[in-house]
């Protein structure tokens, strides 16, 4: 039986660390997906063209296949992996990329979790998903948890305290409220 293990990270660097460790443990790149709305990475590398992997990740694995992709409700996202294929279908037809929620739920992520993960990407986080056999779930979780993922329950509570209920792809890309920025 196949399982999906997903974690979200505050920084792109933390997710990249997890990817490097997963690949070093022998996990094939085609079983890993990364979606990042890390503004510093997207803005710095989008100018270099659609394929930015060689600039971002020194590895020959998943990070070498990163591409910039506009997502409704999120803005420009760096993406690679098996979920990315679903998102890119609309982009290759000359339209905006497909729905992030549809791509995640179509890949087997539950609707409620997909909304939370999409909102996390919208707010500048990075999501990492791994396909694996049930027998490898614990090892995959240990590797991913070793790279400092976001506490999903705590983060969801923060979103809800702000009035969030679900991801809205019609919304404008997220901008932090001015009062939340520290001078």
In a domain, 181, yes or no: no
Of 133, 30, 44, the C-alpha closest to 83 is 30
Q: What is the pTM of this model?
A: 0.79
- Dist CA 149 CA 127 (whole Å): 9
In a domain, 48, yes or no: yes
* Cβ neighbours for 111, distance < 8 A, ≥ 6 positions apart: 101, 105
Q: At what angle do helices 12-24 and 137-145 cross, to 10 degrees?
A: 140
pLDDT on residue 74: 80
Residue 96, domain extent: 2-169
Give the DSSP H or E segment for 6: strand 2-9
In a domain, 134, yes or no: yes
Number of helices and strands (H, E) in the chain?
8, 5
- Per-residue pLDDT of the chain (183 residues), as tens digits, is 689 999 999 998 999 999 999 999 999 988 999 988 865 555 555 444 444 444 344 445 666 566 677 777 787 777 777 776 655 544 444 444 457 888 888 888 999 999 999 999 999 999 999 999 999 999 999 999 999 999 999 999 999 999 999 999 888 778 776 655 554
- Dist CA 46 CA 126 (whole Å): 17
- Residue 45 exposure: Cα atoms within 13 Å on the Cβ side: 24
pLDDT on residue 177: 66
pLDDT on residue 54: 40
- Reading the block at residue 35, the tokens are 């979606």
For the chain, the domain total comes to 1
Any idea of the CA torsion for 163, 100, 123, 73, to the nearest 10 degrees? -70
pLDDT on residue 138: 97
In a domain, 155, yes or no: yes
In a domain, 179, yes or no: no
């Amino acid at each position: 039986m196949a399982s999906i293990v997903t974690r979200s990270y505050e920084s792109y660097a933390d997710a990249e660390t997890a990817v490097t460790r997963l690949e070093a443990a022998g996990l094939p790149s085609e079983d890993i997906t990364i979606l990042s709305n890390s503004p510093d990475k997207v803005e710095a590398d989008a100018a270099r063209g659609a394929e930015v992997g060689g600039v971002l990740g020194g590895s020959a694995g998943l990070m070498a296949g990163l591409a910039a992709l506009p997502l409704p409700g999120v803005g420009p996202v760096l993406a690679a992996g098996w979920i990315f294929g679903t998102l890119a279908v609309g982009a290759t037809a000359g339209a905006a990329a497909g729905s992030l929620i549809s791509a995640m739920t179509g890949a087997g992520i539950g609707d409620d979790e997909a909304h939370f993960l999409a909102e996390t990407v919208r707010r500048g986080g990075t999501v990492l998903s791994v396909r694996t056999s049930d027998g490898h779930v614990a090892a995959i979780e240990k590797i991913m948890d070793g790279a400092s993922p976001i506490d999903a329950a705590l983060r969801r509570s923060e979103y809800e305290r702000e009035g969030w209920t679900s991801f809205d792809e019609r919304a404008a890309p997220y901008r932090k409220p001015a009062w939340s920025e520290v001078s």
